[in-house]
Chain A
Amino acid sequence: MFRKQAFKAALLSLLILALFLGAWSLATYRKDAPATSADAEYAALMGKGRSTGFPTPAKVGEAFVTYLSEPFYDRGPNDKGIGIQVTHSLWRVGLGFALAVAVALPLGFAIGMSPLLFQALDPFIQLLKPISPLAWMPLALYSLKDSDVSGIFVIFICSLWPMLINTAFGVASVRRDWINVARTLEVGPLRKAFQVILPAAAPTILTGMRISMGIAWLVIVAAEMLVGGTGIGYFVWNEWNNLALPNVIFAVVMIGLVGMVLDQLFGRLQKLVTYREQ
């Protein structure tokens, strides 16, 4: 029954894709206008004969083939393969995210366990949370004096808030019964934190991490378009300069794919730590 539905769903997905590609081909189909220009030199200088306008699926397919067939080429500092670019972006995201975990988890724990601290810090969190991470970029560049570190800082600051809030929330809403049981058994505070609260709050904490990772991946593209150098965002920017839309579309799809893999990864982790009550 389930298998049958999965098969049908896959079929439907393929159909939607085919429809989309068909509509795209149709929309971008052009008859080559015959070169009637009287001035041949002018036409040549204007690059007549090359295809203009929005790229066809075939053109984009070509971009996929060229970039994926050689993902790790390195032709100097400003022209690297897509594999190298994605690795650079993942490295920045990973580092910023790890820093955010290192700050958000202990702080979230403290806030979750102490209502006083929660109330005291709440206004600051509420104020800082809605700031677009990219708004930090000029400040970071000015004070950190390094564009790479600034990029990592921006990832750090944007991943911090969802994790912090979710950790605090998860810790604060651990069932009172369990805490009371721990108290009756005279469990030490460290053991209580690691063996009672952490497992109970883990699903909520991981939800926060998953949200953070999603935001971090969104932000890294924009950040790299701003500071440049390396990364998938820089790749998009570089191809945009050349108005090479097939390559931009290729990059957009790649960004989506990597984002999806990251999200799935955290989805798995989340399942792993969820304790099912029967």
Chain B
Amino acid sequence: MSLNNPFDPDSTLTGCSCGRHASQAEHELADAEALNRRVIQSTVMRALFPQDAERRRFLRTVGASTAWAAISSIIPFGTLEAMAQDKGSLEKKELKVGFIPITCASPLIMADPLGLYRREGLDVTLMKTAGWALIRDKVTNREYDASHMLAPMPLAMSLGVGSNPAPTNVMTIQNINGQAITLAMKHKDKRDPKDWKGFRFAIPFEFSMHNFLLRYYLAEHGLDPDTDVQLRVVPPPEMVANLRAGNIDGFLGPDPVNQRAVFDEAGFIHILSREIWDGHPCCSFAVPTEFIRQNPNTFAALYRAVLNAAAMARDAKNRPLMAEVLAPANYLNQPKAVLEQVLTGRFADGLGNVRNVPERVDYDPFPWYSMAYWILSQMKRWGYVKGDVRYKDIAEKVYLLTDARRHMAAVGMAAPRDNSRKAVIMGKEFDPARVEAYANSFAIRKA
């Protein structure tokens, strides 16, 4: 899936290259269908004329259109096409999918205007939601069929930590990196975390990578996040307003909130989250386990749609167009200039510098088990879960790695062969094979 280069003077952004479709993306979709048709036709022709010379002789004598009419009167091409597209009938076609208006949700949002849901026969309504607790409740209530969620949320929900147990699965990771620590302008000379005692920080939710990464970062600098600073849950959209009002000193928040704080001169970007852990997961695409059981074919169709969307979002040359599509009120409701800086990685840091970090955010969908291991290790470290944690069981139950791999292969994406991998977080190695020892290795932790 490629989009038109918006800097190409010969390409149009509103239409497509042939002019018959609303966008280049739709044009290519139509192309894909045409290709599909071609494949079926040539298969039939090969079956009818095992010798290619014979086929060519036949076509030359009677003419292509006569041949087509003759053959299609005995071979039901339309039915064959339908069968090729029919990948099991959908149990539920109209789906409600929740999201929080942040750039982490880009793939699942982009799948709508690009027609990736429609291509799978799904009629998806994207529901903008006011906060993560509400997302959790609406998914448990089954008001939403699937939703954008923070990567730790399905783990916490399945375990029944912070809410009643509600088995929920991670289909894909939505994004890696793409977060930052933003501080209020008045702290521009306090870049050393050791000076942050007594600061009030906002995080989007208890069970968020933001909470765990900020705690990790503070602790590595010798601050105890439970006693030396205050951590407050603030929904991402409200972070900038609170920073400006002086209610908080800073936040580890999702983009575009960080860039928006810079844009509105309320704060500056202290570090990007990839400077803590490059390649850390952030948000996920999650479904209730019950939904998968009841709607296996719809689930598969949804899988293909979000994976295709991720493949599209990974491509750097699609990013400027993504900024344009995501900006209106129906989606993120942010200035395009802000989204562009987040998605292309060329941004103003709020201190007078232009930084160029193309890896600022990426959309790798693969749900590594090791990501779940790390999240659980931090939940244990900070006392959200007590006693023995059965890392392997929980990770394999909640993160649908095998399904992801199967569907990635089906849509032609390369999936890693391993289920887990080591990571380096602020210079310290995390080995998923020794997760229990890792969880107990920290000096600063909740007693």
Please report A residues at the B interface, Cβ cutoff 8 Å: 39, 41-42, 45-47, 52, 75-79, 141-142, 145-147, 225-229, 237-244
Q: Determine whether the beta carbon of B329 is less than 8 Å from that of A146.
A: no
Which of B42-50, B212-220, B256-264, B288-296 participates in binding chain A? B256-264
Task: Give the size of the chain B interface in residues (CB under 8 angstroms).
Answer: 39
By CB atoms of chain A within 10 A, which of B128, B238, B328 has the most?
B128
**Chain B residues with Cβ under 8 A from A145's Cβ?**
140-143
**B352 is an interface residue with CB less than 8 A from chain A:** yes
Q: Which partner residue on chain A sits nearest B353 by CB separation?
A: A42
**Chain B residues with Cβ under 8 A from A226's Cβ?**
130, 134
**Distance of B359 from chain A, by nearest CB (Å):** 18
**Distance of A233 from chain B, by nearest CB (Å):** 10
Q: Determine whether the beta carbon of A78 is less than 8 Å from that of B141.
A: no
Give Cα A39–Cα B348 distance, bound, in whole angstroms: 11
Q: Determine whether the beta carbon of B137 is less than 8 Å from that of A141.
A: yes
Q: Determine whether the beta carbon of B126 is less than 8 Å from that of A77.
A: yes
**B27 is an interface residue with CB less than 8 A from chain A:** no
Q: Determine whether the beta carbon of B264 is less than 8 Å from that of A78.
A: no
**Chain B residues with Cβ under 8 A from A227's Cβ?**
130, 134
Residue from B138, B265, B338 within 8 A of A147 (CB atoms): B138
**B2 is an interface residue with CB less than 8 A from chain A:** no
Residue from A42, A78, A142 within 8 A of B127 (CB atoms): A78
Given A228-B134, A241-B237, A241-B333, A45 and B347 contact (CB-CB distance below 8 Å): yes
Q: Which partner residue on chain A sits nearest B260 by CB separation?
A: A243
Q: Determine whether the beta carbon of A147 is less than 8 Å from that of B264.
A: no
Give Cα A39–Cα B130 distance, bound, in whole angstroms: 38
A-B contact pairs, 23 of them (CB 8 A): A42-B352, A45-B347, A46-B348, A47-B337, A52-B265, A77-B126, A78-B128, A78-B329, A78-B331, A141-B141, A142-B137, A145-B140, A145-B142, A228-B129, A238-B333, A240-B238, A241-B101, A241-B238, A241-B334, A242-B329, A242-B333, A243-B240, A243-B264
Q: Determine whether the beta carbon of A240 is less than 8 Å from that of B335.
A: no
**B354 is an interface residue with CB less than 8 A from chain A:** yes
**B330 is an interface residue with CB less than 8 A from chain A:** yes
**Chain B residues with Cβ under 8 A from A52's Cβ?**
264-265
**Chain B residues with Cβ under 8 A from A242's Cβ?**
329, 333-335
**B440 is an interface residue with CB less than 8 A from chain A:** no
Interface of B: prevailing SS: mixed
Q: Determine whether the beta carbon of A240 is less than 8 Å from that of B141.
A: no
Q: Determine whether the beta carbon of B241 is less than 8 Å from that of A243.
A: yes
Q: Determine whether the beta carbon of B130 is less than 8 Å from that of A228.
A: yes
Please report B residues at the A interface, Cβ cutoff 8 Å: 101, 125-130, 134, 137-138, 140-143, 237-238, 240-241, 260, 262-265, 328-331, 333-335, 337-338, 341, 346-348, 352-354
Q: Which partner residue on chain B sits nearest A75 by CB separation?
A: B330
Residue from B140, B264, B341 within 8 A of A45 (CB atoms): B341
**Distance of A174 from chain B, by nearest CB (Å):** 46
**Distance of A180 from chain B, by nearest CB (Å):** 55
Give Cα A78–Cα B238 distance, bound, in whole angstroms: 18
**Distance of A44 from chain B, by nearest CB (Å):** 8
**Chain B residues with Cβ under 8 A from A240's Cβ?**
237-238, 241
**Distance of A151 from chain B, by nearest CB (Å):** 12
**Chain A residues with Cβ under 8 A from B126's Cβ?**
76-78
Q: Which partner residue on chain A sits nearest B112 by CB separation?
A: A76
**Distance of B247 from chain A, by nearest CB (Å):** 15
Given A228-B128, A243-B260, A79 and B352 contact (CB-CB distance below 8 Å): no
Give Cα A243–Cα B257 distance, bound, in whole angstroms: 11
Given A142-B137, A228-B130, A237-B130, A39 and B337 contact (CB-CB distance below 8 Å): no
Q: Determine whether the beta carbon of A229 is less than 8 Å from that of B352.
A: no
**Chain B residues with Cβ under 8 A from A225's Cβ?**
130
Q: Determine whether the beta carbon of B335 is less than 8 Å from that of A47.
A: yes
**Chain A residues with Cβ under 8 A from B241's Cβ?**
240, 243
**Chain A residues with Cβ under 8 A from B329's Cβ?**
75, 78-79, 238, 242
Give Cα A52–Cα B263 distance, bound, in whole angstroms: 10
**Distance of A127 from chain B, by nearest CB (Å):** 27
Q: Which partner residue on chain B sits nearest A77 by CB separation?
A: B125
Q: Which partner residue on chain B sits nearest A145 by CB separation?
A: B141
Residue from B238, B330, B333 within 8 A of A77 (CB atoms): B330
Give Cα A152–Cα B447 distance, bound, in whole angstroms: 44
Q: Which partner residue on chain A sits nearest B347 by CB separation?
A: A45
**Chain A residues with Cβ under 8 A from B127's Cβ?**
77-78, 229
Q: Which partner residue on chain B sits nearest A247 by CB separation?
A: B329
Q: Determine whether the beta carbon of A47 is less than 8 Å from that of B330.
A: no
Give Cα A229–Cα B335 distance, bound, in whole angstroms: 22
Residue from B129, B263, B328 within 8 A of A47 (CB atoms): B263
By CB atoms of chain A within 10 A, which of B126, B134, B346 has the most?
B134
Give Cα A237–Cα B331 distance, bound, in whole angstroms: 14
**Distance of B185 from chain A, by nearest CB (Å):** 13
**Chain A residues with Cβ under 8 A from B333's Cβ?**
238-239, 241-242, 244
**Distance of B116 from chain A, by nearest CB (Å):** 16
Give Cα A42–Cα B260 distance, bound, in whole angstroms: 15
**Chain B residues with Cβ under 8 A from A39's Cβ?**
352, 354
Give Cα A150–Cα B178 distance, bound, in whole angstroms: 34
**Chain A residues with Cβ under 8 A from B262's Cβ?**
46
Q: Which partner residue on chain A sits nearest B240 by CB separation?
A: A243
Give Cα A142–Cα B127 distance, bound, in whole angstroms: 19
